[in-house]
Amino acid sequence: MNEQLHFADSGEAADLAAFLGRLVHYDRAAAVRLQAQAGGGALAVFGRPPSFDVLAIRTVRLAAPVGAPLDVTVSAGELLESVDETSGGAVVPAAVTGPPWAGVLPPRGGWTPVAGLPGPEAIRAVLAASVAEFRARDEALPPQHRTRSERDRIGREIWSRTLGDTELPLRAVHAAQSLGFLRPVRSTVPAGPTPPGAPEPVALLASGGWLRLRTPYGSIATRRPGGLGALLVRPV
């Protein structure tokens, strides 16, 4: 019998469903790797949207700590179909053969802040300008050059640029926006130190050969340029 998941509330279930839905929108055969530590109260869901070359991570709060460790790769579509937003639960589907990325995950700990990340409004402005540039350059292509390979070349050039004074490629920020991780945080919390339980701001972190863009709604992890250190390889 497949394992049952019970989320902290219906909102957690809805957020997970939205994340899975976006992954399936980009790839109908998408897989996700699920991890939860014994005694832990959260489920980590890893996915890889195609063409972005990054890992997306969504953490879902559970109603109670899991009794045994969970580590399995499943179909994102099957998991999405099992999510019940009314009851706040889901069923873990049967395991699938994991894609290569599922065997190489970012480290759990050792993350330190990285300086140079622009503010949220500046990030959105950079993204908007990059999307506008892509469209303008695409429209300027002569008909005989308006091919998939030429459009991919333009996209690689634009999205390989780095954000602000950081090493973070714009493709990671684009992925965060496309997956709904960069939507504004609506909060009535007054200005000042972030109280316990309040949404955390957007931040850039590093650990070994990885960079991680963390937002209140999820994280995007990507390899640092030229760095393969601190890889976490586990059998799937």
pLDDT of residue 2: 74
**What 3-state class would DSSP assign to 181?**
coil
CB 44 within 8 A of CB 59: yes
pLDDT of the residue at 199 = 52
Sign of CA dihedral 157, 203, 106, 165: positive
The domain limits of the chain are: 4-105, 112-184+198-229
Q: Which residue has the tokens 């990030």?
A: 123
The verdict on domain 4-105 having CATH code 3.90.850.10 is no
pTM, full prediction: 0.86
Q: Compute the half-sphere exposure of residue 199: CA atoms within 13 Å on the CB side of its CA.
A: 17
pLDDT tens track for 144-153: 998 999 999 9
Give the pLDDT confidence score for residue 190 in this predicted structure: 44
> What percent of the chain clears pLDDT 70, i.e. is strictly above it?
88
Per-residue pLDDT at 141: 94
Q: What is the pLDDT of residues 64-104, one digit of tens each?
A: 888 899 999 999 999 999 999 999 999 999 999 989 999 99
Classify residue 218 by burial, with Cβ atoms within 10 Å: 0-12, 13-18, 19+: buried
